[in-house]
Each structure stands twice: as structure tokens, then as C-alpha cells.
Structure 1
């Protein structure tokens, strides 16, 4: 089930079925090694640098408006909670593209570039940041040519859904861009931003973890190990703790 088809399935069910795989496979995140004794004292560990929401580091003003409009349709806000835009997914994607992932500095990017099986990974000279920039520009060109010079963000939600569904189902072609590939990349990063630890810019106030019942970065579950098929009663915790803890320091 794709995000563009959320109307056919409950929001909670769709998000719950993608949460764990996404949390475990966040693009751009990498492990750190700790040598010597364990860092039992608070602040001794070396966590990722927290992402701050402003200003944009990769997106231009117009690109940011467009990507937030896309996020609003992929995971829209409803009575269960905020959607991807309010959860900060655009900030997550912006920092992702502004970093090593965006320019593919950690990937092998030399030819030959041949058609390959999906499990063989990306086979393209186009770097992720360039794919986003080109995809957003092509989407803007398509919208203005087919909807009276309106940008994607200026269209109705129904029109936006039609375009995203067309990209997903390969019935809409963007000029000089692989539309389905662009859609899949945006969808993947939207889910990552929605479910990743808030330290990376998305999942503000751990909204998605609260939605699906994910406990977050708690270090001790011994009191709950043998309590099978019971809802975990404690609120989620991010790598940096909780905002109510920080406020009390």
C-alpha cells in the first residue's frame, strides 16, 4: 500500500506496517563505536548533532513549499495526529540532501551504469540531491503546463493526489525525469523522517512513535520482557530524552 492511496486504508494501519522497517533503515544514519568502559554518565556518549528546523540548508524557498505540499498528501494530518509536514519531515529531507547522502560521497558513483535488479541498489550517475532538484523542477513545469500556470502547492488536494498517483502508477511522465523513481525516493524519505528519532529533524514530539506505540530509545525493558501481548504503558523517549525532562533541568 502506497502513501498516495491512504484513503483506502486506516492511517494507523498504514503507518504501523511501515514503522519498524523504516526506523531500522534510516538513510544517512550511521553507527558510532565506543571504546573502553561504557559511558554510564549522562552526556559522555557522542550522539548525532541535533537538527534545528531553520533555515533551509538545501531547498530553495519555492522547493520547500513544493516538498511540504507533497508531504501533506503523502501523510496528511487527521484526527489521529499531525501529518508529515507538521512532523518536520521536510526538515529531515533537507538536512539529508545537504549532507553526505545528498552528494553521494559515500557511494561508488563511477560507470558503467547498467540496468540492474532492484536488490542491486542504485545504478545511476544522478546523485540524490540532483534527483530532488530536477524532480521538483520537472513537477513544477508539468503542473504549470497542465493546470493553468499553477504550481503543485497551488492545486487542490484532489488534483495533487491525482498527480502523485499518476507518478506512482507511471501514467504521468515528467519532462526529463524518471517520475516513478522520484516519487519513490520522496515517499521513502518521508517515511524515514516521520519515524526516525526526532534528533534528525522529523517526528517532532515523537508524534509517530506515540501513534504506533513505539517506545523509542529507552535503555531498560527488564520489567516488561515477559509481558507479552500487553500495550507498553510508558511514553516514548528520543536519543536526547524528552522535552518535559529537559524543561525540568
Structure 2
């Protein structure tokens, strides 16, 4: 097994170069779990078109969302997703109600069909009369076993322990959420992480140790995790010595991304806030795209000059240069800012290779975080 000469990472962990087209095609896959991808257009079949369409549409009624967590657990989960994708200049996971999507996923087998694969081919957001995404697809026996193993674990059942015992997501979430509330109670009674100073210095750069201690001293003593100020919730989440919390974060992070940016039929992305803040069109069929949108490049936006060259930055810069050559009145001169940015294609490959595990993502990013300067792309972006 060789190594990447620029990063020192083993060949099986080094980032693969991806074209812009591949990155755009798999961009949804970076954020979405398989359970968030509608089945329309996936795979091939020799069945007649009418039969395929009927199979994709699923039952004639919409699949309801069920609940697995208690009200208290959902409140704790909301406090968690709020820190994984916080609201600052843009809405975060709590605004998108990502916790609803996670809860519905945990309760997938409490609905019929299970809430795993949304139907197709169209929603009603782009001209279709009905929302096919609301009618989920029945699972075959193999799929049922596989997804029950993921969600419910092996539960000492012989038919599920062919590869040994498996802890399901339901148990990981239930144990992890309880641990978050227990840690909140510990903070309120003065039991602090041994690495408190290190966590504040390394992870809470905008909050000093004195400020953290002041927030802890202000607690009444009966707060749950969701009741804590954001820096105190972060203090618990960044404590790497707590294996139960870290196991929860490891699965909750990709699930929160999925609940924030996935199709709303899975329970999150309320009012399409996840798509709006990322400028994602969402599903556009059967309306489709105009000829102009397919053939011509997008109009450069305010920050498009910050993109790497493979994302069409040269065209953006040319457009910006043309604008700067035109007569201007009362407009500030264009300035050049030096930027140091990791290759976006490489980052996309790293995220994909992590397979939805936050711990694996951290391991793959570590060589790049410590990489020499020649392993990072540096360029200047012209913008007005």
C-alpha cells in the first residue's frame, strides 16, 4: 500500500480527484443518506414502462410519518442538531426541523410501507399534479432484514447475527440522548470535563474559560441538554473522553445533514429552508430546465470568484474583468485577495470516502490539516 506524496495519507485514504460534473452529481449524496434518495431514476429494469411507473409510485395513499422518540428525547435531539448545523447568518438544522426527519427514520418500520425509499417519479413542486414522493416503496424481504438490522440492531436474533451482534441506531440514539441529559445535570452540579481548559481553547475559540464557568455557575441545577446555552452544549459534544456521546455524534452528524438538506417528504427541510439557503433548485421534473440553463453558465454571483478553477472560476474572472474594463462611476476598484483553500473536489472525495461516519471523516481530514503548504491550492480572486 503506497502513500500520497503530498499528504502522507495511505493510498486507500488519499483524496481522489473528481471532475466538477461528478462533484455536482454526487453533491446530494454527500449530504443525504440512502434513505433520503427517491428511487426515481435509480437502476434499470426490463419491465414494461407502465409496470415500472406503477412500482415507483407505491401505494395510492401518502405514507405517514411515525415517531420513535419521546417528547423529552426529541427536545434533546433538537438541542443536538442545533449545534451540529447552528443558525448564525443562515438558518440551521433546528429551523429545518432535522430532528423530525431523524425521528421518522428511527420509526421507519412503524409505518406501512416503511419510511425508507420515497416513490417517484415526481413531486408536485415542479408542475406535477400529485406528489409521488409521499408514497413510499414497499421493501422486499432482503431490504427489510437489512434496514431492520441498521435501525433495530441484531437483538440476539440468529437471522440477524450472521456477522455478530449489531447495535442499531435506535439504541445508539436512545442511549446517547440520555447521556447528553446526564452530562447536562453533571455540569449543573459542578462536575466538569477533565479536559475543560483544552476543550475551550481548541474548540470554543470565541468563548473564554471565564465565560464558560460563569454560564455554568448561572445554571439552576435542573437543566436538560436542550436548556443549556450553546457553548455549554458544545462543551459536552466536544468532550472526546465520553464514548457514548461521541458514538451519538458520529451517527447524528450525517443524519442531521440529511434531515436539513434532504427532500421534505422524509420529515425535515421544513419550508425547503435547506434548499433555499444553499440555492439548490430541488427536484425540477417534469418541468425540467430551460435551454438557457442547460447550455449557458450561471451568472456569476458575489462570491463566485472564490471558487477553484475547476468550478469555472476562469470564466467568472473573465466576466469580472470585462465588467471592470467597462466605464465605472462611483464604483470601488477591484481588489485582489490571497486565498488558501483546499481543493473542493478533494474534499468531496474525502467526505464520500468517509461513508457517513464523522469519526472516519476526521481521520481522513487529519493528514490534510497538517499538510505542507504545497499540498494546498493558493490563488488570488479578483472581485469588486
Specify the structure having the higher radius of gyration (Cα).
2
Cα offsets for 1:13-62 (capped at 9, x unmatched): xxx9x9633455343656268853369x9x9961694655xxx6111111
1:19 and 1:58 map into 2 onto residues whose CA distance is 29
- Verify: 1:185 aligned to 2:193, yes or no: no
- C-alpha change, 1:73 and 1:62, in structure 2 (3 Å) is same
Of 155-164 and 219-228, the range deviating more from structure 2: 219-228
Match of 1:31 among 39, 43, 60: 39
Contact 2:79 2:226 in 1 (8 A): yes
- Verify: 1:86 aligned to 2:129, yes or no: no
- Verify: 1:221 aligned to 2:289, yes or no: yes
Alignment partner, residue 196 of structure 2: none
| 1:213 CA displacement | 1.5
Contact 1:50 1:199 in 2 (8 A): no
Match of 2:57 among 40, 46, 53: 46
SS of equivalent residue, structure 1 residue 213: coil
TM-score (norm 1): 0.64
1:51 and 1:84 map into 2 onto residues whose CA distance is 22
2:278 and 2:72 map into 1 onto residues whose CA distance is 33
Alignment partner, residue 194 of structure 1: 260
In structure 1, list runs of 5 or more residues that go unmatched: 1-15, 114-123, 233-249
- C-alpha change, 1:225 and 1:29, in structure 2 (3 Å) is closer
1:69 and 1:85 map into 2 onto residues whose CA distance is 8
In structure 2, list runs of 5 or more residues that go unmatched: 1-23, 110-115, 117-143, 155-159, 190-220, 302-384
- RMSD of equivalent CA atoms: 3.5
- C-alpha change, 1:182 and 1:44, in structure 2 (3 Å) is closer
1:231 and 1:91 map into 2 onto residues whose CA distance is 36
Match of 2:226 among 116, 132, 153: 153
SS of equivalent residue, structure 1 residue 131: helix
SS of equivalent residue, structure 1 residue 180: helix
1:197 and 1:203 map into 2 onto residues whose CA distance is 7
Match of 2:237 among 164, 173, 192: 164
- Number of paired residues? 193
TM-score (norm 2): 0.43
Alignment partner, residue 205 of structure 1: 271
Alignment partner, residue 173 of structure 1: 242
| 1:146 CA displacement | 3.1
SS of equivalent residue, structure 1 residue 27: helix
1:165 and 1:44 map into 2 onto residues whose CA distance is 45
Alignment partner, residue 299 of structure 2: 230
| 1:88 CA displacement | 1.7
More helix by share: 2
1:207 and 1:50 map into 2 onto residues whose CA distance is 22
| 1:163 CA displacement | 1.3
Contact 1:28 1:96 in 2 (8 A): no
Cα offsets for 1:65-91 (capped at 9, x unmatched): 1001111222222333x3211212111
Alignment partner, residue 58 of structure 1: 68
Contact 1:22 1:195 in 2 (8 A): no
Contact 1:51 1:201 in 2 (8 A): no
Alignment partner, residue 99 of structure 1: 108
Alignment partner, residue 182 of structure 2: 141
Alignment partner, residue 20 of structure 1: 28
